[in-house]
Amino acid sequence: MEQNQKKVIVSLKDIFVRFDGEVILNHINLDIHEKEFVTILGPSGCGKTTTLRIIGGFVEPESGDVIFDGSRINGTPPNKRNVNTVFQKYSLFPHLNVFDNVAFGLKLKKLPKTEIKKKVTKMLATVDLKGYEKRPVTKLSGGQQQRVAIARALVCDPDVILLDEPLGALDLKLRKSMQIELKEIQRQTEKTFIYVTHDQEEALTMSDTVVVMNNGVIEQVGTPEDIYNEPVNAFVADFIGEANILNGTMIDDCRIKILGKELECVDKGFGKNTPVDVVIRPEDIIITPPEKGQLTGIVESTTFKGVHYEMSIRCGKCEIIVQSTGSAETGSEVGMCVVPFNIQIMNKLLPFYDNIIETEVSYADESSNMFEFELEGETVTVENHFFAQGTKLKITLPPDALSLAGDGDGDLPDVYIESVVYKGEHNEIILESDERKWLMLSDVDEQVATYVPLNFDFDKAKFEVIQNPEG
């Protein structure tokens, strides 16, 4: 509620960015409110840094409007924008000392010397670098360089500070203390911070608002609690914190079927017998005696994590992760209960499960029992099946008929890995080719935002003749 009363300071409207023909930002819309700590979170290659650079003025969108404090600033160069950036690699000026680095922006504003000195000294005290004025920046530790970079941006007194993974180069302990410090600086200075990171924990710790991005689109915007408790889809759930993400069927309002069992939940409006994704956080599962559980399973492993035990429980073919303060013996049978409120139902990322290709046979050879068809400009050869040239076909490829070619060109040489979500049994991988998306099952993890060749196993495919060739 409070959020709505705050003024919108930065607004991105229908931003579209393409580099070398590759879409980086696909018509994104985002409002950023004044005095908030906003984190743009996503895996590498999702477009989060580009979003930041658009606000900073280093990237011009192909289309769409960048609105700053009510006026359109497309085309305004970085030096004329009232924003300052803390860069990923700090980009401190190596030929200047700490004082001159921090004073850089103020000198350009032609402020009187005494005022510059006053402001820089005060700012260095804020970031805990009093007495470092004369030090060359190259002689500072990573954490100290980090503070200089923050001071250099803050001292210019901009309305908005952009931070591009500023803690990425620091070790874990330092990162944690810097997170708290940054948040504290933001609170004190009452500036709008727009922070880019791929670290979900960092995002949850510091932010007032989290923006989750993937593959050039914004998946969800919300408070850290919203994003964690009410993820809009399996990608967000998987990216934020640990989660059991399972395939389920929405039988009716408030009735969900997972792992062969019907459970009560609180979600409505998905229709009847709709396939959905279900998220249950590991800490929301209560271990019970087998006969009292809604679900039962065999404990496969128990790991002591300090605050809690983490157990892997096999439930049929599926693996479920449970975090509990009590432990159960490996090999024993346990029951599991979840309160309806903690079962989160989400629409599937893709509207289909099997990959369906409708095509026409472009070449066929009966003696070799094979045929070919065209797919997105590539010729795909199908062995061990024959259909006459010109036959219109519907080919149904289940997700396990797809594989990523380790070597060679693959049937499609260049598909983009959009997301990888572990569903307790297999990874469900969503791929994007030039014209469509594909669903693939895999037991190995793949790096998202990379390009790989895709292969089809037509022995697992179903063929359906739509129309026989004429004549």
Partner 1 sequence: MKSKKLSIPYIIWMLIFTMIPLVMIFISAFTNKNGSFSLEPFQKAFEHTGVFTKSLWIAFISTLICLVLAYPLAYMITKMKRSTQRTVIMLMMIPMWMNFLLRIYAWIILLQDNGPVDQVMSFFGIHGHYINNTGAVIVGMVYEYLPFMVLPIYTVMSKIDGGLIEAAQDLGSNGFDVFRRIVFPLSIPGIISGITMVFVPSASTFLVAQYLGGNDDKMIGDVIESYFMTDQNMASALSLVLMVFIFVFLVIMNLFGDEEAIA
Can you tell me which residue has the tokens 């710790």?
A: 205
CB of 160 to partner 1, least distance (A): 12
The amino acid sitting at 226 is D
Candidates 4, 5, 71, 79: give the one binding partner 1 (CB under 8 A): 79
Binding of residue 108 to partner 1 (CB under 8 A): yes
Q: What tokens were used for 282?
A: 């590991």
Amino acid type, 318: C
DSSP β-ladder status, 437-442 and 402-404 = unpaired
Shortest distance, position 184 Cβ to partner 1, whole Å: 23
| Beta strand ranges found along 121-177 (DSSP E) | 160-164
| In the complex, minimum distance from the CB of residue 29 to partner 1, in angstroms, rounded to a whole number | 25
Determine which helix (DSSP H) or strand (DSSP E) holds 121, and give its type and residue range.
helix 113-126
Nearer to partner 1, 158 or 413 (CB): 158
Report residue 333 as tokens: 């049978």
What is the side-by-side order of every strand in the sheet holding 71-72?
Answer: 22-33, 8-19, 63-68, 71-72
Q: Among 138, 273, 303, 467, which residue sits at the site for partner 1 (rule: CB under 8 A)?
A: 138
77 binds partner 1 (CB under 8 A): yes
**Residues near 171 by beta carbon (within 8 Å), at least 6 away in sequence:** none
CA distance 295 to 311: 15
152 is an interface residue for partner 1 by CB under 8 A: yes
- Tell me the β-bridge partners of 278: 246, 345
Which residue of 21, 75, 94, 326 would you call a contact of partner 1, by CB under 8 A?
94
Nearer to partner 1, 86 or 285 (CB): 86
In this complex, which beta carbon is closest to partner 1, that of residue 5 or of residue 79?
A: 79
Q: Which of 72, 95, 130, 462 binds partner 1 (CB under 8 A)?
A: 95
CB of 88 to partner 1, least distance (A): 8
Contact 56, 162 (CB under 8 A): yes
**84 binds partner 1 per the rule CB under 8 A:** yes
Q: Using CB under 8 A as the criterion, what x/- string covers residues 27-66 for binding partner 1? A: -----------------------------xxx--------
Q: Does 109 bind partner 1 (CB under 8 A)?
A: yes
Q: Does 93 bind partner 1 (CB under 8 A)?
A: yes
Task: Using the rule CB under 8 A, give the single segment among 152-160, 236-244, 410-418, 459-467 that binds partner 1.
Answer: 152-160
Q: How far is CA 333 from the centre of its chain?
A: 36
- Closer of 68 and 456 to partner 1 (Cβ): 68
| C-beta closer to partner 1: residue 153 or 315 | 153
Only one of the segments 73-81, 178-186, 199-207, 462-470 lies at the binding site for partner 1 (rule: CB under 8 A); that segment is 73-81
Please provide residue 427's backbone torsions phi and psi, each rounded to the nearest 5 degrees. Answer: -80, 130
Which residues touch 92 (CB under 8 Å, ≥6 apart)? 101, 137, 145, 148, 149, 152
Question: Residue 445 and residue 432: Cα distance in Å, rounded?
Answer: 17
CB of 304 to partner 1, least distance (A): 44
State the Cα torsion 297-298-301-304 to the nearest 10°: 60
Interface mask toward partner 1 for 154-193; x: CB under 8 A = --x-------------------------------------
Q: Quick count: other Cβ atoms within 10 Å of Cβ 353?
A: 13
The CA distances from residue 114 to 53, 134, 157, 206, 273, in Å, are 33, 17, 17, 35, 72
Residue 91 contacts partner 1 per CB under 8 A: yes
- Comparison of 196 and 375: residue with beta carbon closer to partner 1: 196
The residues binding partner 1 (CB under 8 A) are 56-58, 77-79, 83-85, 87, 89, 91-95, 104-105, 108-109, 136, 138, 152-153, 156
